[in-house]
């Protein structure tokens, strides 16, 4: 919980300094947009924070299913306990965020509105926790749950009333607005702020007050009752989601683990040989068919120490090291099966790990020799096989294929390739197939929500809505890529530790393979998404603009995927990677140029805009589609061309398309390099 509170305080501090009260004044509707952006970001941040509940829930399910099947407790008791334990967490998040942000930004100076703001954030967070707990308990798989978690955020976000106002939502999506939890939170938080006394000054552009006019312009209600309606609906959603969690835990069983099965026809030569042997009644020759040189392993006076645990030092133990092995000697002879026998905790596994060179810490002393020669770990790893006590197997290959893979990498080149098979199949449908399905569904949602908006360029609101469409797509599809790749990389990293210790390959080839294997799927994802959204949103049908659109989307999906890989590589476990990633998603969301346009970002935060990859994506895509449009916009607050509006409002210069693409390539290289260096220099395995 300490990690969460620190993250909330940090993001809250950034938000407070971006929307600092000295820069905002409730004097006109233009400032109202900035206040609304701050309020909306607080709600979205609470939603993103709830996302970290998803991997935590998935990790607890195996133990729960085992206890449930053995009648330890019913599903409802477990789900209620999990829910109650998260209530203090929601209270802490709401209190920390409100105390850091509310008065720093300069929201309505009223104690009642202050506590109502806090209550609303608490309700949103409880709703988000229930939503992602529900998705985890129904999906029961990390990759599937991550993917549909991103999909749910996308749907709730798009139809929340901020990215596209309620009155501009297409008729066929109006129902989505009314069932979106975020739409109730958005209306409640807007009413709580803009009905305050300080917004009751007469408006210069209408016959009502500034606050009421702003609410009407953004299609929000003006009645105070909508605050309590919003809180009530959010609490009802939290109850609904947690009830579904209980039902899922009670009636759903764990997903069966996928098993890779390879069916291959025996070639004619093999079949003939088998028939011949059967007819002749010959026994099949068994044993080692490859050249093999027997070796002897001896060890004498082996000692192994670890640093004294803090608990023992605090109890007054004077030694700095704790000895686990004391003067152990022995011999392993070829052709002799040697059994190491002892009670639990005697040090059997410790001794074997020391002899095999698999210890990642501690201090080893003694003499270990292979056929009389001093043992060298790099050579020893290539001539020996070691089956660890606790091991993990890659779910994408069969055990047989793992043996062939090991043989191909470890046996000398004199052995023919036929004897060193390595087959590759489509083995991750829950990752690759689900990702492509989600991309298709998300593209259809985005295309139908923003139907033909790209051809409408007659008002500033049209252009802001186009920006919102592109912003939503790149942020949420990108987050989906980063989130769904993390469990895959986390599992495979454990396998990598074992195979690296066995001398099968180095960290750089492994990292390169992990990165390159993503490219074909990202390219397919880009084509699926690009073709659907480009024509449904209604962008200009020219080949050059279509190609640029695909290029920027491909680079965006790539750097998000590589960022997800890097986040896992730099952290000891997937849960911590998810928590840290959510903080970065929030910052990228805040300073990408949509919630706060580039010209309005304070000078002390403008540096972060330039290192925010999402900002460069938005700049590149907007300029590639609208940067050369000379259509005239005539409005009371702006008169000029589309090109001029983009430069003045968003701060995008028309000649920055190439620079934006180059910067995104740089981010791809940076995040991939971070992943490669992390697997090379960091080892979070402790044994």
Over residues 318-358, the pLDDT tens digits come to 888 888 899 999 999 988 888 888 888 888 888 888 888 88
By three-state DSSP, how is residue 593 classified?
coil
Predicted confidence at residue 611, as pLDDT, reads 95
Give the integer Cα–Cα distance in Å for 63 and 485: 24
Can you tell me which residue has the tokens 């979106």?
180
Question: How many beta carbons lie within 10 A of that of residue 413, not counting itself?
Answer: 7
Contacts of 191 (CB under 8 A, 6+ apart): 215, 220, 221, 222, 223, 224, 226, 227, 230
- 566-583: string of b/e by CB count within 10 Å (b at 16+)? bbbbbbeebbbbbbbbbb
| Cβ within 8 Å of residue 279, ≥6 positions away | none
Q: Percent of the chain, pLDDT > 90? A: 37
% of the chain with per-residue pLDDT over 70: 87
pLDDT for position 670: 97
Query: Would you place residue 16 in the very low, low, confident or very high pLDDT band (cuts 50, 70, 90)?
Result: very high
> Picking from 17-21, 140-144, 639-643, which range would have the lowest pLDDT averaged per residue?
140-144
> How many alpha carbons fall within 13 Å on the CB side of residue 631?
14
* Strand runs labelled E in 436-495: none
Which distant-in-sequence residues (6+ apart) come within 8 Å of 535 by Cβ? Answer: 447, 541
Look at residue 279 in the predicted model and tell me its pLDDT: 44
Task: Specify the pLDDT at position 194.
Answer: 92
What pLDDT is recorded for position 259? 45
Measured CA to CA, the distance from residue 388 to residue 409 in angstroms comes to 19
Which tokens is 457 given? 């360029």
Band the pLDDT of 169: cuts 50, 70, 90: confident
Does position 57 have pLDDT exceeding 50, yes or no?
yes
Q: Give me the pLDDT at residue 26, please.
A: 79
> Would you state the pLDDT for residue 131?
93
Are the CB atoms for 147 and 135 separated by under 8 Å? no
Average pLDDT, the chain: 84
* pLDDT value for 231: 96
**β-bridge mates for residue 367, sequence order:** 300
pLDDT band at 270 (very low <50, low <70, confident <90, very high): very low
Phi, psi of 640 (to 5 degrees): 170, -165
CB-based contacts of 373, cutoff 8 Å, min separation 6: none
Query: What values do phi and psi take at 544, rounded to 5?
Result: -60, -45
Flag whether pLDDT at 424 surpasses 50.
no
Strands (E), 490-605: none
At residue 427 the predicted structure's pLDDT band, cuts being 50, 70 and 90, is: low
* Confidence bin at 552 (pLDDT 50/70/90): very high
Question: Which of the four pLDDT bands, split at 50, 70 and 90, describes residue 229?
Answer: very high
pLDDT of res. 358: 81
Average pLDDT estimate for 524-529: 94
Chain position carrying tokens 């020391």: 354
pLDDT at 281 over 50: no
- Reported pTM: 0.75
Q: Which residue has the tokens 């449930």?
A: 68
Q: CA 545, 549, 550, 551: dihedral to nearest 10 degrees? A: 100
Q: What mean pLDDT comes out for the span 542-563?
A: 95
Question: What confidence score (pLDDT) does residue 120 get?
Answer: 96
Q: What is the pLDDT of residue 70?
A: 86
The residues, ordered by sequence, that sit 6+ positions from 60 with a Cβ below 8 Å of its Cβ are 82
Instruction: Indicate the pLDDT class of residue 676, thresholds 50, 70 and 90.
Output: very high
Q: How does pLDDT run across 593-602, given as a tens digit for each residue?
A: 888 889 889 9
Answer yes or no: is pLDDT of 434 > 90: no
pLDDT at 258 (0 to 100): 46
Residue 586 CA to residue 440 CA, distance in Å, equals 25
> Is-contact 233 181, C-beta < 8 A?
yes
pLDDT at residue 394 in the model: 59
Query: What secondary structure letter does DSSP report for 432?
Result: I
Whether the per-residue pLDDT at 285 is higher than 50: the answer is no
CA atoms within 13 A on the CB side of 433: 5
Let me know if 187 is exposed, middle or buried by CB neighbors in 10 A (0-12, 13-18, 19+).
buried
Q: How far apart are CA 592 and CA 615, in angstroms?
A: 4
Read off the DSSP letter of residue 455.
Answer: G
* Cα–chain center distance at 236: 28
CA distances from 564 to 480, 504, 515 (A): 10, 25, 11
How confident is the model over 46-66, as a mean pLDDT? 86
pLDDT for residue 272:
43
Q: How confident is the model at residue 543 (pLDDT cuts 50, 70, 90)?
A: very high
> Which of 146-160, 468-482, 497-511 is most confident?
468-482
Looking at residue 267, its pLDDT comes to 46
| DSSP at 166 | G
Among 658, 651, 533, residue whose Cα is nearest residue 598? 651
| Whether the predicted pLDDT of 246 surpasses 80 | yes
Q: Which residues of 447-466 are buried (b: 16+ CB within 10 A; e: fewer)?
A: bebbeebbeebeeeebbbbb
Provide the token pair at 133.
């707990």
State the pLDDT at residue 396.
60
Token pair of 551 as six digits: 């290029």
Check residue 525 and give its pLDDT.
Answer: 94
| Spatial contact of 302 and 351, defined as CB atoms under 8 Å apart | yes
């Amino acid at each position: 919980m300490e990690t969460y509170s620190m993250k909330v305080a940090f993001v809250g501090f950034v938000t407070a300094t971006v929307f600092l009260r000295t820069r905002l004044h409730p004097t006109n509707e233009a400032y109202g947009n900035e206040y609304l952006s701050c309020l909306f970001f607080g709600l979205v941040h609470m939603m993103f924070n709830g996302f970290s509940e998803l991997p935590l829930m998935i990790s607890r399910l195996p133990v729960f299913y085992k206890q449930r099947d053995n009648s330890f407790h019913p599903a409802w008791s477990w789900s209620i306990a999990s829910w109650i334990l998260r209530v203090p967490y929601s209270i802490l998040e709401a209190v920390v965020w409100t105390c850091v942000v509310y008065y720093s930004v300069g929201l309505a100076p009223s104690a009642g509105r202050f506590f109502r703001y806090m209550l609303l954030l608490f309700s949103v967070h409880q709703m988000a926790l229930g939503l992602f707990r529900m998705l985890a308990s129904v999906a029961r798989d990390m990759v599937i749950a991550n993917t549909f978690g991103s999909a749910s955020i996308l749907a709730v976000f798009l139809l929340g009333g901020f990215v596209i106002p309620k009155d501009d939502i297409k008729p066929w999506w109006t129902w989505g607005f009314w069932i979106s939890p975020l739409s109730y939170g958005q209306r409640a938080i807007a009413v709580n702020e803009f009905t305050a006394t300080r917004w009751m000054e007469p408006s210069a552009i209408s016959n009502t007050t500034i606050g009421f006019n702003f609410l009407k312009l953004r299609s929000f209600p003006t009645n105070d009752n909508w605050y309590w309606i919003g809180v009530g609906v959010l609490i009802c959603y939290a109850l609904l989601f947690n009830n579904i969690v209980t039902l899922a835990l009670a009636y759903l069983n764990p997903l069966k683990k996928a098993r890779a099965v390879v069916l291959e026809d025996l070639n004619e030569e093999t079949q003939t040989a088998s028939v011949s042997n059967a007819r002749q009644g010959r026994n099949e020759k068994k044993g080692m068919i490859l050249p093999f040189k027997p070796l002897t392993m001896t060890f004498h006076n082996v000692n192994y120490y670890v640093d004294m645990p803090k608990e023992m030092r605090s109890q007054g133990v004077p030694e700095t090291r704790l000895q686990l092995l004391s003067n152990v000697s022995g011999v392993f002879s070829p052709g002799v099966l040697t059994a190491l026998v002892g009670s639990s905790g005697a040090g059997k596994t410790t001794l074997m790990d020391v002899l095999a060179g698999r210890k990642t810490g501690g201090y080893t002393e003694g003499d270990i020799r292979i056929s009389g020669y001093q043992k060298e770990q790099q050579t020893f790893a290539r001539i020996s096989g070691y089956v660890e006590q606790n091991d993990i197997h890659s779910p994408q290959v069969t055990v047989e294929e793992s043996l062939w893979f090991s043989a191909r990498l470890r046996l000398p080149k004199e052995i023919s390739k036929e004897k060193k098979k390595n087959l590759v199949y489509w083995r991750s449908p829950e990752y690759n197939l689900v990702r492509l399905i989600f991309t298709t569904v998300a593209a259809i949602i985005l295309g139908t929500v923003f139907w033909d908006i790209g051809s409408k360029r007659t008002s500033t609101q049209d252009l802001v809505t186009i920006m919102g469409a592109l912003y939503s797509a790149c942020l949420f599809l990108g987050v989906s890529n980063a989130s769904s790749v993390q469990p895959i990389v986390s599992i495979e990293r454990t396998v990598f530790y074992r195979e690296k210790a066995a001398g099968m390959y180095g960290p750089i080839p492994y990292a390169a393979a992990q990165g390159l294997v993503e490219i074909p799927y990202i390219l397919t994802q880009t084509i699926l998404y690009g073709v659907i959204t480009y024509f449904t949103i209604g962008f200009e049908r020219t080949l050059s603009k279509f190609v640029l659109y695909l290029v920027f989307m491909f680079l965006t999906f790539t750097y998000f995927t590589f960022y997800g890989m890097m986040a896992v590589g730099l952290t000891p476990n997937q849960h911590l990677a998810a928590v840290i990633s959510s903080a970065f998603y929030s910052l990228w969301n805040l300073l990408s140029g949509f919630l706060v346009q580039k010209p309005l970002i304070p000078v002390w935060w403008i540096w972060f805009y330039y290192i925010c990859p999402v900002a460069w994506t938005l700049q590149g895509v907007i300029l590639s589609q609208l940067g050369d449009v000379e259509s005239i916009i005539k409005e009371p607050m702006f008169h000029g061309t589309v090109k001029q509006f983009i430069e003045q409002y968003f701060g995008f210069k028309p000649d920055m398309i190439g620079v934006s693409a180059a910067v995104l390539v740089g981010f791809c290289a940076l995040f991939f390099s971070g992943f490669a260096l992390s697997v090379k220099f960091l080892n979070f395995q402790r044994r």
